[in-house]
Amino acid sequence: MSDMVSSEQVTEFTAGIPPIEPYDPPGRDELPAAVASWSPDPRRAVLLVHDMQHYFLRPLPARPRDTVLHNAARLRERCAGLGMPVAYTAQPGSMTEEQRGLLKDIWGPGMRAADDDRRVVDALAPADGDWLLTKWRYSAFHHSGLLGRMREAGRDQLIVCGVYAHVGVLMTAVEAFSNDIETFLAADAVADFSREHHQLALRYAAGRCAVVADTDGLVDALELAVPADAVRWHRTAAHPEWVVV
């Protein structure tokens, strides 16, 4: 492994979602320093709520689930209030063999199409106008239309919260970076299989593809970027200038 994370820091990978022991997400003083110096701007950013479906949250114990839900809901409320698009990824459930592909070799058959598996948890329920994207693979960009939606909306920043940090969240951050999208990972609004996996994801993201910050830091930065006389912004490819609406 690289010098960023030693082999002793990460538990062995296993098939499927393993039993998850309670843990507290890393605090602000434990977050890795980012290489990039980007700052989130509500005129440029999209919030992605990644895979916050009942199926994926069911294995999480109250620690860290309650903290992650609280912080993700706070991010969602503030970003929407600042006029930012809010996007959701959600797996469809009951995938065919062809749709599931190699995922079944690592994760098994996955969720059912039943509502109690597929539904986004109530604390983060999508609102009218949010972007609802079908999730097919680790990255939220894979065959989902997310990149096209962002380009059309003139957005080149992505803030990510959700589960699981070292799987889909991290792969989404890498692909966003690969498409020249400045990416921000909400360290206390993501969860993982263990504190070690959580820290692995944060370290890699901060060093290679994203800025890692806690929810307080992201909300503060977004609010600092708001001009004093502005209420909401709208930007499209056809009209790239900033317009107060």
The domain ranges of the chain are 49-97+106-244
pLDDT digits (tens, 9 = 90+) for 40-96: 999 999 999 999 999 889 999 999 999 999 999 999 999 999 999 999 998 876 677
Residue matched to tokens 């960009």: 141
Residues annotated catalytic, as ranges? 51
Look at 103 and 242; give whichever has higher pLDDT: 103
Taken in order 161, 165, 168, 169, the sign of the CA dihedral is positive
pLDDT digits (tens, 9 = 90+) for 110-126: 676 777 787 899 999 99
Fold (CATH) for 49-97+106-244: Rossmann fold (3.40.50)
Mean pLDDT in residue range 101-107: 73
Residue 95: per-residue pLDDT: 73
Residue matched to tokens 């690969």: 178
Say what the pTM is.
Answer: 0.86
- Say if CB 57 and CB 65 are below 8 A apart: yes
Question: 60 to each of 90, 115, 118, 123, 162, how far by Cα in Å?
Answer: 17, 19, 16, 15, 12
